Chains A and B, each alone.
Chain A
Amino acid sequence: MTALITLTGVNKYYADYHALRDINLTINAGEFFSLLGPSGCGKTTLLRTIAGFEQVTDGVVMIGGADMAAVPANLRPTNMVFQSYAIFPHLSVAENVAFGLRKSKDIDKQTKAEMVEEALTMVGLAGYGKRAAHALSGGQRQRVALARALILKPKVLLLDEPLSALDKKMREQMQVELIRLQRQVGITFILVTHDQEEALVMSDRIAVMFEGEIGQLADPETLYRRPNSRRVASFIGKMNFLEAEVNAVSDVIAIDVEGLGPLQVSLEQAPEPVKQGPAVVGIRPETLGILFEGETTDRKLIDGVVDEVVYYGDMTYYDIRIKGISQAINIAMKNLIGRPVLEVGEAAQVIWDERALVVLN
C-alpha cells in the first residue's frame, strides 16, 4: 500500500469557527476511503480541502507526493462528484461528460467521442449521449457526474454525499455499483457521507469525524465491533451503554458492570487503554438475545421485562428492563419460524455474553 494523500496538521478556520482541528491522515492508493460524521463535523470541508476549493489555514496537503498548497483546484489530480451533481444544464449528456477533455488537445475528436461513449457505458448510460441534461432523473444525473469525473482518469475521485438525494432502493443499487466501479478502475475513492450504513458497506477504511476532529480511523469491522469512544459507538449502529467500574487491569480486565456483576474481559475489548476506575461498557443489540420457549442456550441468562416492542418485519427490537440496569436494554431479534413477538409487560430471559462487551473510558 502506497500513501497517495497525506494530510499533516491540517487546520481550517472560518473566522472564529474552527472547522478542522489538527487533521493527520494518510489515504492509500486504490482504497475506498470514507469520511463519516454528523452534519457540521467538517467532513465536507476536509473533502473540499483535498479538492482545492478550500485553503487550509495551517498544515500540509500532499497528493501523490506533491505539496498542494499552491496548486489550484483545476490543476489537482482530483475530480469530484458534487452532492447536487452539478450537471451543466446548457450541455447535452455527451458534452457534460466530455467537458474536461477540452484541454487534451492531443486526442482527436473521434477518440474523444469513443471515450465519452465508453465512460457512459461504464456507468450504465450507453446511448444517452445526445440527451439534454435536464431530461435526466436523479440517478442518471449522478451517473453522468461519475462518468464526467472518471473519464479524466484522476488519481482520486472525491464523492460528496453522492447518494443522499436518491431513494432507498436506488441508493442501495448505487452503493453496489460504486464498489464495482471502484474495483474496476482502481482509482482511490474518497466518500463523504453521514450514513453509517453506506460507509460500512462501501469502504475499505472509515474516518469518523466529530466537530472537526477524527474520532476514529479504522476498517468497517473494527469500527463497528471496537469503537474507541462512546460517541463513535453511538454514531455507528445502535449500542447499549452500561455503567461499569474497572477493578484491575492485568492481562485481562476485571470489571464490575451494572446489572451483570463482576466480569473478566480480554484486553482487546478495550480499544483504548483503560485504567482502574469508572468506565462505560457498550453492547450491541444483536449480540444480545431473548430465550424463547423451546430454545436452549449455553450462554448466560438474566431476567427482564419487556418495556417496548418495535416490529420491523425481519427483525423485532425489544427494550427490556433488567433489575440493576438504569436504562432499558435494546435487543434485536430475528423473527425466525416459531418465535412469537413478545408483548409489553411480558417476562423475558435475556441471553448475554461478556465477549460482546466493549469497554470504553
Chain B
Amino acid sequence: MAKLSERYKLTQSQKMMVFILSMSLYGLSNMITELIPEVYIGPIEFSVEYFAFIPLTLCILFHPLYAAIGASVGEIIFGELMLGQFGGFGELEKFIAFSLAMYVAGTFVRDPKNKIQVGIAAMLGVIIHQFISMTVDVLKVWVGVEELEVVPGLAESVVIIEGFYFLNDIFFSGILFALLPTVYLVPRLYGKIEPLLGMKPRERTDRYSLKEVIGPRLVAGGLVLASLAFMFEFLSETDFNPVDWEADLGGGLETTLIWVSIGMAFLIAVSVIAVMVKRRRDNMPPGPGGVAS
C-alpha cells in the first residue's frame, strides 16, 4: 500500500499544459465578464464579477498550483494588459490573493465526484479571495486619505461599502458563477478532460501540501513588503507632508480647489467624448477600419 500515499506528480510538460489551459480559458472568461454590463438596483450592484468556476474546476481536476497560477496570469494578460487596464503593482495583490484562494479550494477537494466537497470548496475559494480583496480595498482608502479622522463618516462608510460588496459578491457572483457551475462541471469533466492532456485523473488518495506554496521565500518576501508598507505609511504621517492644508486654507480657497478638480474631471470627460466623436466621423467614409490616421 506504499503506492497509495505517493504524491500526485506531473512532468514539466504536463505542468505547462495545465498552466496554458487555465490561462487561456480564464483569460477568455475575463474578457467576457468585462463586456457584460452591470445592473444597479439602487445601491445594490448585480454584476458578474468573474467566472470563478473555470479556475475552480481546473484546480479541482488538475494540480491546483499550476491551474491557480495560470488563471491569475491569464487574468492579468487577457483581462488587464490586452484591454489596456493593467494596474501595475495593484495586480500583484490580485495575483497573490486569487492564486492563494484557488489553490486552497483545489487542495480542499479529495474526491472530485463528491458534490458536497466540490461545492464547499467553490464557496471557500470565493470567500477567501473576496475577503482578501475587501481588506486590501479598505486599507487602500485608509492609507490613501490621510485626513481620515478629520472627515466624519468616511472611515466607517468605507468599511460598510466594502463589506456590502463582499456579501454581494459572495451571494450573487459566488453562488451563480462559482458554486452552481462548478458543481455541474466537475463531475462531468472528471475522467474526460485529463486524457486529453495525457495524464491520469486525480485519485482520492492524492495529497498536496501547502508547503509547496508557502516556502521561506514567500514568507520573507511578505514580511519585507509589509514592513515597507508600514514604513512608508509612517513616513507619510510624520515628515513627508509638512504642509497641513487644513490649517492654512480658508473656506473660499477650498471650494475653488473643489471646482478645479470637478473642472478637471469634466475636462477629461469632454475631451474623451470629443475624441470619440471625431474618430467616429473620421471612420465613417472609408468604412469599418478603426485605424485612424
A binds B: no
Q: Using CB atoms and an 8 Å cutoff, list the residues of chain A in contact with chain B.
A: none
Q: Using CB atoms and an 8 Å cutoff, list the residues of chain B in contact with chain A.
A: none
